[in-house]
Amino acid sequence: MTTTELTGTSASEPTSSKWMALLAKPSAARVMVVGGVLFTLLSLTRMITDGDDLTSSGTMSTTLRVTTPILLAGLAGLWAERVGIVNIGIEGQMLMGAFVGFLANVYLGRTGLPVGLVLPLAALIGALTGAAMGALLAFLAGRKVGDPGDSRTNVDLLGLARAAAGKDWPRKVNTRIVHEVGDYNFGVQFDTCHAHMVAAVGARQPGKKETLPGGAVEFARKLRGKINHVHLIDSDGTLHDDETSTHAPFGDGILDFATLLPELNAAGVPHNWWTIDLCFWPDAWAVTARCKAGVDAVSYTHLTLPTTYSV
């Protein structure tokens, strides 16, 4: 029995098997087959629904015009990931390039240059602007975290102590990430509610739960010198919709702020702007004043620095 080299199937096998083998090969033939099938389906849909606009030249040109920037942006994101840069500003790069390209088109058009030269130059200037924005991001992201005396871009906050991901074990957060980086600009956003659910309850931890005897207070003690921002909120020991921690208003939970706040005060937070976090609480505005009063009542006694709160 002879085996074909193209599909790796025997000559006696059904035609459908050969087609499936062809489609499984990453080749131009597969692209052509899939494209042909999609175009056929589109044509049939037009005939059945009598929707002539589906395959009109205007629809096709609009589709190409609208999707091309999205495809190019997707390629930009792909290449950024391949070189190790997480680029979350691709849309901004596109908008900045389009804006500068538009301005270039307007001003170059006033110089008397031929239209056939103005448009390519404006497009080139817009493309170079987007590329420059990407290069700036790569340059800033590639630099080492700055020393205390310089002005480099720094990583200031890293939200780790939360109970939604299922991997937030106190030991791993403490030793494997924060302390191994070893720089004062790389730290943790410490949320008192999440910290309790992580360290005292062990919420959403797969397998054997890893908790700390001292709960959130011990967790904060382990992170001394590595806490760069604080979210203050109570906890009733439950999860919101079985996902993230329930952010209970002050007085409705079980956290001992008289013990927790002095520990946070000793953590060396590099600023005095702390946040009251009422995430997912229904009608949060109605309890905001009560939460602020509750924080004030304990902070005046247990904090040594004047603290400003945002909600």
Distance between CA atoms of 97 and 126, rounded to whole angstroms? 4
Q: Which tens digits make up the pLDDT trace of 219-258?
A: 888 888 888 888 889 999 998 887 788 889 988 999 998 8
**Per-residue pLDDT reduced to its tens digit, 65-83:** 888 888 888 888 888 777 7
Q: Encode 285-310: b = buried (16+ Cβ within 10 Å), e = exposed.
A: eebeeebeebbeebbeebbeeebebe
Distance CA 214, CA 226 (A): 18
231 touches 237 (CB < 8 A): no
3-state helix, strand, coil in the chain (%, to 5): 55, 10, 35
User: Phi-psi bin for 273: left (phi > 0), alpha (psi -120 to 50), beta?
Assistant: beta
CA 28/CA 23 separation, integer angstroms: 10
Single out the residue of 111, 114, 201, 184 nearest to residue 149, CA to CA. 184
Instruction: Give the pLDDT confidence score for residue 143 in this predicted structure.
Output: 52
Is pTM beyond 0.75? Reply is no
For residue 9, the tally of other CB atoms under 10 A from its CB is 15
**How long a stretch of residues is the chain?**
311
Q: Which domains does the chain have, with CATH numbers?
A: 1-55 (no CATH), 71-142 (no CATH), 170-310 (3.20.20.150)
Residue pLDDT, tens place only, 11-56: 444 555 655 565 555 566 677 777 778 778 877 777 777 766 666 6
Q: Write down the pLDDT at residue 27.
A: 64
| CA within 13 Å, CB half, 121 | 14
